[in-house]
Amino acid sequence: MGAGKSTLGPEVAERLGRPFIDLDRAIEHDLGKTIPELFLANGEPEFRLQEEGQAIAALHLPEPTVIAFGGGAVQTPSIRNELRDRAFTVLLEVDAETAWERSRRSGRPLAEDESAFNALYERRRQLYDEVADAHAHDLEDVVLAAGGVRVHVGAIELLGSLTPGDGPVALVSDAHVAGIHGAAAQVALGLRVVTVHEVAPGEEAKSADVAERLWNELRLDRHGTLVALGGGSTTDVAGFAAATYLRGIDWVPVPTTLVGQVDAAIGGKTGLDLSAGKNLVGAFHWPARVVIDPGLLETLPERERREGLAEVVKTGLLAGQPLWELPTPELVRRSAAFKTAVCLRDPDDRGERAILNLGHTFAHALEAAGGYEVLTHGSAVALGLLAALRVSGRPTDVVEEVLAPEPVRVDRERAWEALQRDKKSRDGRIRLVLLDERGPVVETRPAEEVRSALDELIQP
């Protein structure tokens, strides 16, 4: 009690797009009495019986639901069993002193004496740890836990314990990343590593030839796990290989770039490039775990950090928060939590997840027009954000000041043809992710307006 579950629960539910149930409030509503009145009238044993029925009913609802349990619910064995079998359970951490300060004047029947309260805290602590699938301190922690995303400085050293299961592991990375972080990853994974695989750096990795080579090299059974260590291109091709090898095996991306940590490695979207366009072949394959270590960014060259900063600015614009101003570990955590929540609400990219493409319709067109060689992805996204804000009629100062995009020299007609093939287009109509006063929206805009905005990004 006093951890803040009733306050945080509705916020988690809103972030995940799910209903919310506060178990104590549901009991009070059904029985027409407050919790203190129920304790006084019938005693704790009778209250626990009522709680057990309500808890098990809530856990058997057909729709995924966020449920805030009373602090003592885990004392009931049947509830603990149902939590293990039917729920993803997050322990909202609070120290005894804080919990007492929040609870002592609340009228809670078990918060009348500090010594008794502290003893209760200690007795329940083991039960909390027993049922918890994850621990959290705030909203972002809960969302990340729900999405299987672990953000922690030093997480690469825990990769062995963070990679689910106990089966064999295939480690995939490019030569450069392997030279910097490969040894740490292999030490952490230990004897589980059975094969190590190398892919090309950058977009060159995202080809059908590389995927085919990985399929032929892998020696995993269906209990094996593919661990992808590297940037967004590595996690894209490795994730696609995992999605299709043996009709799908577990995989764990370990992103080593800022763009990978805040965007590319989250949400289970994998992809390969074709000559006709970027990410035209792919699969949705949610990772068994995403392991994000912001400490790995310390070795990142400044130019690569700026690549990822474009995605941070995009996320901040969508969230309505200046995430780009935060210290790196918090910038990564908050950005990752935002994307995780959107992907949990729309895991198959059939609706709201489209907002994550803010600026990307223009960016992908520019990349394709340059043969994926003229400009980097981050530079393309920066230009794309500029165009999206202009079409939205919104200020562009943040993009200009933080990212400083410059027009690029690519073929205008080739860029326009690539933009018209964008995956969001419907029946020949161009749909863009834009921003209005309420936030992100997906709208159809006239071809002439879109073409004009694209042309502004290209040097004469």
User: What does the pLDDT look like over 356-399, one tens digit per residue?
Assistant: 999 999 999 999 899 888 998 899 999 999 999 999 999 999 99
Tell me what the mean pLDDT of segment 71-87 comes to. 95
- Where does the chain hold its CATH 3.40.50.1970 domain(s)? 149-300
Q: What is the DSSP string of 292-324?
A: E-GGGGGG--HHHHHHHHHHHHHHHHHHTS-GG
> For the packed helices 377-392 and 360-369, what is the interaxial angle rounded to 10 degrees?
130
Dist CA 207 CA 219 (whole Å) = 21
- pLDDT band at 50; cut points 50, 70, 90: very high
Instruction: Give the CATH number of domain 5-139.
Output: 3.40.50.300
- Which three-class secondary structure state does DSSP give residue 103? helix
Dist CA 226 CA 210 (whole Å) = 15
Q: What is the mean pLDDT of the chain?
A: 94
Pairing of strands 169-174, 225-230: parallel
Q: Of 278, 259, 205, give the one whose Cα is nearest residue 236.
A: 205
- Where does the chain hold its CATH 1.20.1090.10 domain(s)? 358-455
Tell me what the mean pLDDT of segment 80-87 comes to. 96
- Which three-class secondary structure state does DSSP give residue 90? strand
pLDDT at 7 over 80: yes
3-state helix, strand, coil in the chain (%, to 5): 55, 15, 30
pLDDT at 288 over 80: yes
**Model's pTM, two decimal places?**
0.92
Query: How confident is the model at residue 78, as a pLDDT?
Result: 97
How does pLDDT run across 92-148, given as a tens digit for each residue? 999 999 999 999 988 888 888 999 999 999 999 999 999 999 999 999 999 999 999
pLDDT at 205 over 90: yes
The arrangement of secondary structure in 149-300, i.e. its CATH architecture, is 3-Layer(aba) Sandwich (3.40)
Poorest-pLDDT segment among 184-198, 272-286, 403-417 = 272-286
> For residues 171 and 229, is the Cβ–Cβ distance under 8 A?
yes
Instruction: Give the CATH number of domain 358-455.
Output: 1.20.1090.10
How does pLDDT run across 388-441, given as a tens digit for each residue? 999 999 999 999 999 999 999 999 999 999 998 876 666 667 889 999 988 999
Dist CA 261 CA 284 (whole Å) = 18
Instruction: Report residue 2: phi and psi, to 5°.
Output: 80, 10
How does pLDDT run across 295-347, given as a tens digit for each residue? 999 988 888 898 899 999 999 999 999 999 999 999 999 999 999 999 999 99
> For residues 279 and 273, is the Cβ–Cβ distance under 8 A?
yes
Instruction: Please list the residues that pair with 174 across neighbouring strands.
Output: 199
Terminal Cα-to-Cα distance of the chain (whole angstroms): 65
Dist CA 424 CA 365 (whole Å) = 13
Query: How confident is the model at residue 80, as a pLDDT?
Result: 96
Dist CA 426 CA 428 (whole Å) = 5
Share of the chain above pLDDT 90, in %: 85
Residue of 35 and 457 predicted with greater confidence: 457
- Where does the chain hold its CATH 3.40.50.300 domain(s)? 5-139
Poorest-pLDDT segment among 45-54, 199-208, 242-251, 271-280 = 271-280
Q: Which residues of 284-315 are buried (b: 16+ CB within 10 A; e: fewer)?
A: ebbbbbbbbbbebbeebeeebbbbbbbbbbbb
Q: What is the DSSP string of 165-210?
A: SSS-EEEEEEHHHIIIIIHHHHHHHGGGEEEEEEE-SGGGGSSHHH
Tell me what the mean pLDDT of segment 189-216 comes to. 96
Kindly state the DSSP code that residue 432 receives in the 8-state scheme: E
pLDDT at 164 over 70: yes
Query: How confident is the model at residue 424, as a pLDDT?
Result: 63
Instruction: Determine whether 138 is exposed, middle or buried from the number of CB atoms within 10 Å of its CB (0-12, 13-18, 19+).
Output: middle
